[in-house]
């Protein structure tokens, strides 16, 4: 009797082990990971901010103060909208802050640049400030004191900076600070709008960390207003492009559907159309057929995944390059195991699973990016290592 029970138990454990092993292999191929839980500081909202909104001709700048024990309060001050405002952002995980100046917004961004300067691109940080900060320090884009050190280089942030992570506010203000610092040094930070930025500008915040629900409540706002039309960061994002060409290389979050080429869209036309609809929720029939190709959640440049579904052959891909007078295309949006190339080293896919600021996981995640230097391409690791992807 006991031998029979033990034999059955052994069979059960063996079958379970096989099933778990198969599940692990399948999960790994689908980029799955095991979360080890969130650090308690992920939910800390004391000293969060600034949260900046336009109120008539004023900027209302708010910080959340206090804690659960003593209670919370909102420190709110008003400033003339046309004057600079000194601000700082607090990062709870390592009890650090960084300072910056909130300045009147510039007009819409230029979309075509022709220089000989190096380019570093990284995408899909998803609300993880520390991941970007540490990667940029390791690759000498900024100093450990967060000062710009990339000289006249171009830093391309290729969409989906928002949602999921618990440091979205810190990450966006950090990017805003980098943008100002780079400009002063002769460099440039490019913020390319991804589908999650569009979602947030349209009020779709279902992918945002739940931390931002009480934060919005403290501010007497709904979560959908945090990057809305009256939010400074919402208006700042609305000045950004969905596609840019830098030194002959195209950068777009999702990809370029062949119909974009067939319908003879220019870079400026794509950006103008997308910007017109950033804050309007897409649905079939919203716009005419031609416009819909650009703003659609399947064919739009911020959403398209066709390069990784065998929808675009080499001929169609080369037609896209020719149409936009481009040498390569770099995309995020579709998750990869590492930064890699396709289409004879003319398409570069750079969306990887970055470390989560407040959540450890198995396997351990590592940030990666792409460097383009004199038309040579390199995979950048988060320890500063540079690996050639193409031959010089």
Q: For residue range 90-139, list pLDDT tens digits in order.
A: 999 999 999 999 999 988 999 999 999 999 999 999 999 999 999 999 99
User: How many angstroms from the chain centroid is the CA of residue 26?
Assistant: 27
CA distance 194 to 180: 21
Q: For residue range 227-240, list pLDDT tens digits in order.
A: 999 999 999 999 99
pLDDT (0 to 100) of residue 21: 44
Cis peptide before 50 (omega within 30 of 0): yes
Residue 233 neighbours by CB distance under 10 Å: 24
CA distance 223 to 205: 7
Average the pLDDT over 365-371 and give the result. Answer: 97
The 10 Å CB-count burial string (b at 16+, else e) for 192-211 is bbbbbbbbbbbbbbeebbeb
CB-based contact 218:64 (threshold 8 Å) = yes
Distances (CA, A) of 66 to 47, 73, 211, 277, 367: 7, 6, 15, 38, 33
Which helix (H) or strand (E) segment holds residue 97: the answer is: strand 96-102
DSSP for 219-280, please give it: TT--GGGTTSTTBHHHHHHTTSBSEEEETTEEEESS---HHHHHTT--HHHHHHHHHHHTTS
Residues 6+ apart with CB under 8 A from 308: 334, 349
Average the pLDDT over 357-381 and give the result. Answer: 93
CB-based contact 266:245 (threshold 8 Å) = no
Q: Where are the domains of the chain?
A: 108-388
Higher pLDDT, 392 or 171: 171
Write down the mean pLDDT value for the chain.
92
pLDDT (0 to 100) of residue 1: 63
3-state helix, strand, coil in the chain (%, to 5): 30, 25, 40
CA distance 351 to 366: 12
Please say whether the dihedral angle defined by the alpha carbons of residues 319, 324, 327 and 333, taken in this order, is positive or negative. Answer: negative
Residues 6+ apart with CB under 8 A from 333: 123, 124, 159, 160, 194, 195, 253, 254, 255, 302, 303, 304, 305, 351
CB-based contact 33:364 (threshold 8 Å) = no
Residue 26 scores a pLDDT above 50: no
Q: For residue range 80-96, list pLDDT tens digits in order.
A: 999 999 999 999 999 99
Residue 18: pLDDT band with limits 50, 70, 90: very low
Could you tell me the fold of the domain covering 108-388? Purple Acid Phosphatase; chain A, domain 2 (3.60.21)
CA distance 369 to 379: 6
Residue 10 scores a pLDDT above 90: no
CB-based contact 178:316 (threshold 8 Å) = no
């Amino acid at each position: 009797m006991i031998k029979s029970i033990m034999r059955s138990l052994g069979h059960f454990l063996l079958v379970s082990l096989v099933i778990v092993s198969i599940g692990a292999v399948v999960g790994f191929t689908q980029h799955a990971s095991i979360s080890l839980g969130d650090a308690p500081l992920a939910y800390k909202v004391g000293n969060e901010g600034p949260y900046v909104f336009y109120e008539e001709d004023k900027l209302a700048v708010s910080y959340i103060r206090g804690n659960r024990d003593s209670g919370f309060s909102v420190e709110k001050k008003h400033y003339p909208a046309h004057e600079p405002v000194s601000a700082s952002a607090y990062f709870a995980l390592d009890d650090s802050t960084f300072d910056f100046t909130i300045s009147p917004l510039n007009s819409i961004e230029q979309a075509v640049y022709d220089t000989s300067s190096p380019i570093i691109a990284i995408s899909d940080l998803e609300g993880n400030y520390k991941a970007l900060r540490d990667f940029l320090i390791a690759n000498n884009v900024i100093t450990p004191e967060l000062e710009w050190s990339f000289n006249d280089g171009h830093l391309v942030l290729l969409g989906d900076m928002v949602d999921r992570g618990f440091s979205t506010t810190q990450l966006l203000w950090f990017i805003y600070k980098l943008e100002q610092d780079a400009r002063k040094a002769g460099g440039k930070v490019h913020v390319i709008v991804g589908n999650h930025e569009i979602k947030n500008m349209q009020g779709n915040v279902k992918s945002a960390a739940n931390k931002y629900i009480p934060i919005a409540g403290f501010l007497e706002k709904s979560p959908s207003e945090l990057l809305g039309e009256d939010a400074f960061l919402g208006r700042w994002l609305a000045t950004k492009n969905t596609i840019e060409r830098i030194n002959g290389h195209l950068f777009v979050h999702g990809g370029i559907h062949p119909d974009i080429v067939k319908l003879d869209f220019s870079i400026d036309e794509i950006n103008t159309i997308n910007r017109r609809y950033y804050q309007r929720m897409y649905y079939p029939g919203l716009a005419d057929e031609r416009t819909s190709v650009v703003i659609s959640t399947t064919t739009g440049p911020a959403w398209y995944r066709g390069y990784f579904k065998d929808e675009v052959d080499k001929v169609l891909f080369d037609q896209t390059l020719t149409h936009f007078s481009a040498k390569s295309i770099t995309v995020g949006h579709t998750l990869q195991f590492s930064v890699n190339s396709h289409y004879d080293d003319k398409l570069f896919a750079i969306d990887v699973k970055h470390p989560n600021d407040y959540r450890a996981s198995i396997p351990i995640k590592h940030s990666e990016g792409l460097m383009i230097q004199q038309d040579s391409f390199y995979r950048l690791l988060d320890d500063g290592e540079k690996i050639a992807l193409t031959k010089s």
